Amino acid sequence: MPYRFCRWALAMLVSVVLPGVVPGHAANRQGVKPVRIANLDRGRIVQYPNGTLVAFSVAGAGGRQWVSARLSSSNGASWDEPARTLELPVEAGTWGGLESLVDREGEVHLFLLNDAHTGVFGRGEGQRPKVGTMAEQRLDIWHAKSTGGRNSWTQPKRIWQGYTGALNSVIQLQTGRMLLPFSYLTTRKWSDRGEGLDAFTFMGQYNSTLVFSDDAGKSWQVAPAHLKIPVPDIVSAYGAVEPVILELKDGRVWMLIRAQTGRFYESFSADGLSWSKPRPSQIVSSDSPAGLARLKDGRILLLWNQCLRHPYAYGGRQVLHGAISEDEGRSWRGYREVARDPLRNQPPPPRGDHGTAYPFPTATADGKAMYTTGQGEGRVQIMWLDPDWLYETFQRDDFSEGLEEWSTFGTKGVELQPRASGPGQLMAIRKTDAEWPAAAVWNFPLGKAGRLRLKISVRSGFQGALIGITDHFSTPFEEEDRFYNLFNFEIGPDGRLPQGAKLDSNRWHDLQFAWDMAKRECRVFQGNRQIASLPLQRSSEGPCYLRLRSVAKEVDPAGFLIDSVEVDVSPP
C-alpha cells in the first residue's frame, strides 16, 4: 500500500516583536515534516537514471546468502516485493554490510563486507574490542558490478583484505574516478604509539583511506592516504573511522571522518588520492558516522547525530539531525531532529547496538530525499524528507500532539495534564522522586539570532528550575548541562528571578529570550520588561535546543507548568 504523506500546518507567527529581536520572515519556506516509510526494510537506496529507486540489502536462508533488491517507481511511496538479485559465494565466509553506486552508464556497483570465516558480525558499540585484540580477524571488501543495462552481474571479487568497519559512502567523480572510503585496523597501541607528535598522544586503532578505480570498476587500487586523528581513550577508542565523502563544485573532494572528540574531523583532496591532514570541523557530533548527499538542485544534505556526553558512542544516538547547505558546506541551516529512536523511552538493551545512527541519504528525482537510519531490533527506520522543512524559521508547540516533539526519557515527573479551563493540554514538570531528574528537551531551528517565548506558571511551593538554551542534544537526565549550555536562566524557589523580579505562583507569565550570537548575549524579558542579560558561555554557530529541568534538591510536588513554547530565528 502506498504511504500517504501528511502536511504539517505551521502555527501563525505572533505579531509582538521585542527590540532587537528578529521578526517573522515572509520568505520562510513551509516544508513537510520527515515521515517514516512503514513498508520497507533497511537497505542501501540508490536511484537509476530513469528515476526508479532501488533498495539493496543482504539476505539469506538455509546457509545461503544473496543480495536482494526492491524497486520503487513512485519516489518511495510504494515498493515492489524483494527480488533475489546476486548470489554470494558461501565458501568465502559470512556476508554483511553493503554500499552501492549507480555509475554514469547506469550500471550498479555493489560493495560488500565478508568476514573470511572469522566470525566478527554482531558486535556493537557496547562490545568495543580493546586495542590489540582483533589482529587475527577480518572484514574484507568485495565488489560486484551489473552489466548489460543491469541485466547480469559479474562475480563478486575481493578488492581489499584486512579489517574494516561499516561502509558508509561511495562516489564517482566528474573525472570518472570511483572512490570508496573506509577505515582499517592498524597495529597501533598505547605501548607503540608511533614517532614524532604521535608519541605525545594516541591516534586510536584505525586509520581512514580509500580504494579507487579509473576503469569503471574493473580494477581497484588503495589510495596513498593514511588519515588519523587523536582520541580520548587509550583502551578502546577507534580513531579515524567510517569516513564519508562528497565532490564539491570546485572539483575538490570533502571527507567527514567519524571521531571520538565531540565533532567530525574533515579532510580535502584535489584528486581523491592525496588528502590534507584531518582537522576538527565545526560540526558537533557523537562518535557516529555522517550521511552526505547532493540534492537534485545542487544543495548538500547532511545527516548526523549531534549528541554529546552519553557513554554510548561517546555522545549517544538517541536522535538524528539534518541540515542543508547552499554554499558547499561553509554554512548550514536547520539542525533539526529528522529521526528519533522509536524505543528511546526504554532503557538501552544490555547487548547489541541501539539508537538512530548510520544514515544513508539518497536524493530523489522530485528534489526530496530518502534515508535509512537506526540500529537494533525495532529501531531501523526508512524516512522521507522535504528539504524545505529545514529552512523553516518558526516553530511552536502547545502540546496538542502530546509530547512527541520532546525527549523526556530517563526522567520522572514530566507529564501532560488537561487545562483548567478550555480544551488542550499542558506540560507539567515536577520532581516526584528525589533519585530521578525531572526534565524535558525540545529541538528547534538553529539561529544566530532569535526569540524564544515560554508561557510558564510556577505552582505554590515550587523549588526552582533551570532553563537552558544550547546547540546540541544531550539526554534529558544529564545534570551537567548547565556547564555546556550556551545560556542558562535559573528560576529560584517560589519564582524568584534576577534583579528582584518574581513569578507569582499559580499565574501565567510570558518569559521571552532574545539572543544574538554576534553580541554574545541573550536578553530575558518578563512581559515587556527586561529582567536579565545572559552572557554567552562559549562560541557556537547558534542555539537549537531548549532544556527545561527542575533543580529541586529533594522532591518538589509543586513544580511548574508550560502552556506553550515558540521560537522565531533569523536564517544563519
Kindly report the number of other CB atoms within 10 A of residue 27's CB atom: 7
pLDDT reading at 160 higher than 60: yes
Place of cell 560488500: 112
Query: What is the rounded average pLDDT of the residues 294-322?
Result: 97
The pLDDT score that the predictor gives to residue 57 is 95
Q: Which grid cell is 407? A: 525527549
* Residues in CB range of 15: below 8 A, 6 or more apart: none
Question: Which H or E run contains 159?
Answer: strand 157-160
Residue 351 or 490, more confident: 490
**Domain ranges within the chain, ordered by starting residue:** 44-167, 395-569
* Residues in CB range of 271: below 8 A, 6 or more apart: 175, 177, 253
Environment class of residue 146 by beta-carbon count within 10 Å: exposed (0-12), middle (13-18) or buried (19+)?
Answer: buried
- What does the pLDDT look like over 477-520, one tens digit per residue? 999 999 999 999 999 999 999 888 899 999 999 999 999 999 99
The pLDDT score that the predictor gives to residue 126 is 75
Q: Which letter does DSSP use for residue 399 in this model?
A: S
Question: Rounded to whole angstroms, what are the CA distances from 366 to 34, 49, 339?
Answer: 15, 13, 21
Q: What percent of the chain has pLDDT over 70?
A: 94
The pLDDT score that the predictor gives to residue 134 is 82
The pLDDT score that the predictor gives to residue 418 is 94
pTM: 0.93
User: Is 269 within 8 Å of 275 (Cβ atoms)?
Assistant: yes
Query: What is the rounded average pLDDT of the residues 393-415?
Result: 96
CATH number 3.40.630.30 given to 44-167:
no
Q: Which grid cell is 322? A: 539534518
Query: What is the rounded average pLDDT of the residues 270-299?
Result: 97
User: Is 112 within 8 Å of 88 (Cβ atoms)?
Assistant: yes
Furthest-apart CA atoms within the chain: distance in Å = 78
In whole angstroms, give the CA distance from residue 194 to residue 306: 31
Q: Which grid cell is 495? A: 519564582
Q: Which letter does DSSP use for residue 406 in this model?
A: E
**Residue in 38, 48, 110, 34 with CA at minimum distance from that of residue 79:** 38
The pLDDT score that the predictor gives to residue 368 is 95
Q: Which grid cell is 378? A: 525495532
User: Is 86 within 8 Å of 103 (Cβ atoms)?
Assistant: no
- What does the pLDDT look like over 43-92, one tens digit per residue? 899 999 999 999 999 999 999 999 999 999 998 888 999 999 999 999 99
In whole angstroms, give the CA distance from residue 370 to residue 362: 5
Query: What is the rounded average pLDDT of the residues 122-143?
Result: 83
- What does the pLDDT look like over 92-116, one tens digit per residue? 999 999 999 999 999 999 999 999 9
- What does the pLDDT look like over 201-237, one tens digit per residue? 999 999 999 999 999 999 999 999 999 999 999 999 9
In whole angstroms, give the CA distance from residue 103 to residue 96: 23
Question: Which H or E run contains 301?
Answer: strand 300-304
Q: Is 334 left (phi over 0), alpha (psi -120 to 50) or beta?
A: left
Query: What is the rounded average pLDDT of the residues 130-155?
Result: 92
Fold of 395-569: Jelly Rolls (2.60.120)
**Residue in 63, 109, 112, 117 with CA at minimum distance from that of residue 92:** 117
- Mean pLDDT (the chain) is 92
